[in-house]
């Protein structure tokens, strides 16, 4: 705000000098344009240019200001100034000054009422400065151009102050004292309008030591030079003092001013240094106090983190124990009354979580005297969230498995329930899975696949290994509520093995990025077709670890095996096959 007011005030004084000069020429009182009879007056063209430029500066902040009009005024003043320079260099007259003052009187050897070439040069510079002021991209140049004009006219004013005006008595029209004063005021107006964002005020402003030294020493140096020069040329000479005495007095004045400035600067700098030293000492004391308590704080923080980590580990261990408790602790016998060693279907499992808790889950449960259900799933992700979803799936399995023996319908109901739970929780998760029902009496399996890797069917009596047909495959569990899962059928014979597994068993990579695929797994299983099932599982796991060159898996690994030990007589053979009770699921015969 202060810069805006200063700019307005300097522009107003400039316009007043121009208007006063025009009044003097119109009224015949030319002294109004020259201050003294001994000085050349300001030319009318110069006064008119000052008036127009001051109006541009005064109206710049007004709401009715029109930039195109201001630019026309600036260009017009610049053209007139350039024309005067052409007149000076070529000796020809363009008639601008003659139109205003046709028959001027002479001041020494030059005519009055004519613009000085130095004045014309200054008008070119100051017009350019104001033009740059109006353009945001050129605003940076306004300050340096205005400072150049102030420096030129400062030399002119010094000549007047010392009693030897510049160019007086020569053939070149000198610059009038009011003209030089008006240029200094207009330059100050432009510099103030630019503000502290640009040079030269940018170097003066702020709390830095550099800015403070400039604010004190630069004015002091200028003041000392002016005072010493004026003292020598205007006062001591007029008093008729001895030159040696005059020199001593001027030196004394110079010394007093410099001493006063240095004393003030030293006081300010000393206060800043003392304040900085005090702040440094306070910071050092605080740092020492912090260091004294830092070790204790670290110990306390470490103990706190250790307690939290221990608590978290205990909770994760409990979660792992609870999850393991959800897995079957023993497998059913088929038929139910048979001892485990004489069961028609034998079961094998391998469970290796990648973390403390797992997203893999399986369950084996009887569905009839000769049939058993096997469910395996793999929840997206790892950790606690995945483990919670496996708990939901187990609850849904227990809820619906007693109602519906058909794998497709069972998965459809579980999917609908899981989708409803996840939707209420506002989270997006899913699980892949396989629901399979094996019946030793009917020598068949019914199964449905929910986006899960296809189980492998090892027909040992035929020497053949192949995945179960994919016609019973559909999307993952939990994504869409209206997904309908279908049921497929395959025959089994004594010695056959159905191998169910999660993708953590085969989706592994070598350090070079090679992938162990489902086909690689099938080939490895086929090569070990006749091995005992437990040995087969362990060797497959070792091969995958050897391929990845790692002992640990990035994903959870779960393998379930159903081996047909012997066939049973179907107690319900007269009532039709198992597929006749499939309900809404579609039984596909894949024998």
To the nearest whole number, what is the mean pLDDT of the chain? 84
The CATH number covering residue 517 comes to: 3.60.40.10
Assigned domain for 464 exists: yes
The angle formed by the CA atoms of residues 103, 108 and 112, to the nearest 5 degrees, is 35
Mean pLDDT lowest among 65-69, 242-246, 554-558: 242-246
Q: Which residue has the higher pLDDT, 549 or 230?
A: 549
Query: Could you give the CA distance from residue 360 to residue 104 in angstroms, rounded to a whole number?
Result: 109
pLDDT band of residue 585 (cuts 50, 70, 90) is very low
Helix ranges, 60-141 (H): 67-90, 96-100, 117-134
pTM score of the predicted model: 0.49
Does 582 have pLDDT greater than 70?
no
pLDDT band of residue 91 (cuts 50, 70, 90) is confident
What proportion of the chain, given as a percentage, has pLDDT over 70?
A: 87
Predicted confidence at residue 237, as pLDDT, reads 58
Residue 130 near residue 142 (C-beta atoms within 8 A) = yes
Full DSSP string of 285-332? HHHHHHHHHHHHHHHHHHHHHHHHHHHHHHHHHHHHHHHHHHS-SSPP
Assigned domain for 38 exists: yes
Predicted confidence at residue 435, as pLDDT, reads 94
Residues with Cβ within 8 Å of residue 36, at least 6 apart in sequence = 177
Q: What is the mean pLDDT of residues 375-403?
A: 85
Which tens digits make up the pLDDT trace of 419-475?
999 888 778 889 999 999 999 999 999 999 999 999 999 999 999 999 998 765 678
Predicted confidence at residue 412, as pLDDT, reads 93
Does 589 have pLDDT greater than 80?
no
Assess whether 198 and 339 both reside in one domain.
Answer: no
Domain with 49 in it: 2-205
Assigned domain for 252 exists: no
Predicted confidence at residue 577, as pLDDT, reads 39
Q: What is the mean pLDDT of residues 353-368?
A: 83
Mean pLDDT highest for which of 9-23, 333-347, 397-411?
Answer: 9-23
Assigned domain for 15 exists: yes
Query: Could you give the CA distance from residue 136 to residue 109 in angstroms, rounded to a whole number?
Result: 45
Task: Say how many domains are in the chain.
Answer: 2
Predicted confidence at residue 586, as pLDDT, reads 32
pLDDT band of residue 583 (cuts 50, 70, 90) is very low
Predicted confidence at residue 81, as pLDDT, reads 94
Assigned domain for 443 exists: yes
Query: Could you give the CA distance from residue 422 to residue 385 in angstroms, rounded to a whole number?
Result: 11
Mean pLDDT lowest among 47-51, 131-135, 203-207, 459-463: 203-207
Q: How far is CA 68 from CA 64, 73, 74, 331, 400, in A?
A: 12, 9, 10, 94, 84
Assess whether 68 and 201 both reside in one domain.
Answer: yes
Assess whether 199 and 332 both reside in one domain.
Answer: no
Which phi-psi region, left, alpha or beta, contains residue 552 (left: φ > 0; alpha: ψ -120 to 50)?
A: beta
**Domain-terminating residue out of 189, 205, 221:** 205
Assigned domain for 34 exists: yes
Residues with Cβ within 8 Å of residue 170, at least 6 apart in sequence = 109, 110
**Domain-terminating residue out of 177, 205, 233:** 205
Assess whether 559 and 424 both reside in one domain.
Answer: yes
Q: What is the mean pLDDT of residues 346-371?
A: 86
pLDDT band of residue 264 (cuts 50, 70, 90) is confident
Assigned domain for 346 exists: yes
Query: Could you give the CA distance from residue 56 to residue 64 in angstroms, rounded to a whole number?
Result: 12
Assigned domain for 163 exists: yes
Query: Could you give the CA distance from residue 331 to residue 250 in angstroms, rounded to a whole number?
Result: 116
Does 578 have pLDDT greater than 50?
no
Query: Could you give the CA distance from residue 508 to residue 493 in angstroms, rounded to a whole number?
Result: 32
Q: How far is CA 406 from CA 113, 275, 373, 453, in A?
A: 115, 86, 10, 20
Predicted confidence at residue 380, as pLDDT, reads 85
Does 98 have pLDDT greater than 90?
no
Tokens 């000052």, located at residue: 50
């Amino acid at each position: 705000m202060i810069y805006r007011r200063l700019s307005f005030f300097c522009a107003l004084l400039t316009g007043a000098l121009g208007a006063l000069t025009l009044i003097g020429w119109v009224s015949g009182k030319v002294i109004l344009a020259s201050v003294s009879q001994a000085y050349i007056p300001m030319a009318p063209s110069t006064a008119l240019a000052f008036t127009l430029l001051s109006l541009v500066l005064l109206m710049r902040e007004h709401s009715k200001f029109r930039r195109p009009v201001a630019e026309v005024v600036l260009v017009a003043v610049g053209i007139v100034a350039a024309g005067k320079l052409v007149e000076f260099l070529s000796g020809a007259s363009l008639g601008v000054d003659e139109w205003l003052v046709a028959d001027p009187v002479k001041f020494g050897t030059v005519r009055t009422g004519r613009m000085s070439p130095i004045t014309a040069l200054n008008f070119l510079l100051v017009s350019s400065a104001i033009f740059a002021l109006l353009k945001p991209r050129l605003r940076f140049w306004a300050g340096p151009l205005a400072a150049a004009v102030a420096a030129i006219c400062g030399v002119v004013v010094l000549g007047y102050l010392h009693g030897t005006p510049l160019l007086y008595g020569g053939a070149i029209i000198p610059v009038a004292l009011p003209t030089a004063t008006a240029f200094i005021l207009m330059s100050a107006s432009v510099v103030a309008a630019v503000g502290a964002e640009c040079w030269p005020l940018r170097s003066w402003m702020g709390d830095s030591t550099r800015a403070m030294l400039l604010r004190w020493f630069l004015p002091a140096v200028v003041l000392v030079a002016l005072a010493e020069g004026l003292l020598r040329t205007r006062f001591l000479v007029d008093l008729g003092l001895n030159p040696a005495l005059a020199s001593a007095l001027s030196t004394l004045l110079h010394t007093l001013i410099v001493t006063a400035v240095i004393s003030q600067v030293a006081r300010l700098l000393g206060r800043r240094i003392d304040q900085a030293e005090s702040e440094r000492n306070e910071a050092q004391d605080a740092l020492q106090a912090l260091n004294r308590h830092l070790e204790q704080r670290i110990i306390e923080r470490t103990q706190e983190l250790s307690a939290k980590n221990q608590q978290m580990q205990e909770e994760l261990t409990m979660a792992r124990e609870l999850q393991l408790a959800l897995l079957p602790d023993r497998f059913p016998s088929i038929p139910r009354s048979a001892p485990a060693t004489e069961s028609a279907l034998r079961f094998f499992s391998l469970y290796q979580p990648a973390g403390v808790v797992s997203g893999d889950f399986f369950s084996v449960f009887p569905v009839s005297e000769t049939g058993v259900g096997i469910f395996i799933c793999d929840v997206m992700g790892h950790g606690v969230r995945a483990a919670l979803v496996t708990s939901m799936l187990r609850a849904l399995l227990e809820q619906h498995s007693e109602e519906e023996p058909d794998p497709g319908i069972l998965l459809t109901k579980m999917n609908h329930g899981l989708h409803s739970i996840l939707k209420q929780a506002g989270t997006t998760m899913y699980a892949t899975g396989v629901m399979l029902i094996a019946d030793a009496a009917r020598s068949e399996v019914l199964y449905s696949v929910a986006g899960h890797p296809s189980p492998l069917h090892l027909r040992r009596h035929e020497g053949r290994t192949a995945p179960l047909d994919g016609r019973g495959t559909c999307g993952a569990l939990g994504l869409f509520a209206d997904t309908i899962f279908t049921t497929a059928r395959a025959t089994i014979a004594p010695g056959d093995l159905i191998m169910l597994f999660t993708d953590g068993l085969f989706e592994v990579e070598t350090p070079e990025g090679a992938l162990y695929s489902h086909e690689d797994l099938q080939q490895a299983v086929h090569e070990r077709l006749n091995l005992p099932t437990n040995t087969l599982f362990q060797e497959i796991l070792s091969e995958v670890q050897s391929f990845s060159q790692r002992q640990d898996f990035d994903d959870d690994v779960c393998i379930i095996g159903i081996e047909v030990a012997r066939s049973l007589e179907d107690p319900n053979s007269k009532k039709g096959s198992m597929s006749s009770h499939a309900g809404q699921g579609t039984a596909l015969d894949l024998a």
